[in-house]
Amino acid sequence: LNPTTPLESNCPPDKPELGRATWTLLHTMAAYYPVEPSERDKQDMAGFLRGFGLFYPCVPCAHDLRKNMILNPPQLQSREALSGWLCMQHNLVNKKIHKPLFDCSKVLERWRYGWKDGSCDLPDVD
């Protein structure tokens, strides 16, 4: 299989495809996390992240996440804090796999509001 050829859509995801889908889910969850979360929201997100670190199907990836969550626990006090923390975690992975780092000041623009240049805006329908 050519590494630049995507797998058939009905095949299990390879590691890069799984990673892209996972980061999309995690960043989007963080972008929609409450601005002012309740204690229950914080507990629920902490539980989700703990479970995620246990069951993620890439074993070394899950191990790294668990280790990183011990060294730098999730920041659950707000949407902005969680999104920034997750971006930092993603950049740790990007650095490890020699990919460009993301500007974390733009994380909510990327994952919730859309780019300021309007490139994500839906066209007007008359």
Is 103 part of any domain? yes
Is 26 part of any domain? no
Residue 6 confidence (pLDDT): 57
What sign for the dihedral angle of Cα 58, 47, 36, 122? Answer: positive
Residue 122 confidence (pLDDT): 77
CA distance 108 to 33: 11
- Structural domain boundaries, residue 69: 59-111
Buried b (16+ CB within 10 A) or exposed e, 82-93: bbbbbbbbbbbe
CA distance 86 to 26: 8
Do the Cβ atoms of 102 and 87 come closer than 8 Å? yes
Do the Cβ atoms of 65 and 72 come closer than 8 Å? no
Is 69 part of any domain? yes
Do the Cβ atoms of 80 and 73 come closer than 8 Å? no
Is 90 part of any domain? yes
CATH of the domain at 76: 1.20.120.310
Residue 95 confidence (pLDDT): 97
Q: What is the amino acid identity at position 64?
A: D
> What residues of the chain score a pLDDT lower than 70?
1-8, 125-126
Residue 9 confidence (pLDDT): 75
pTM: 0.87
Is 86 part of any domain? yes
CA distance 58 to 14: 10
Residue 126 confidence (pLDDT): 62
Domain count, the chain: 1
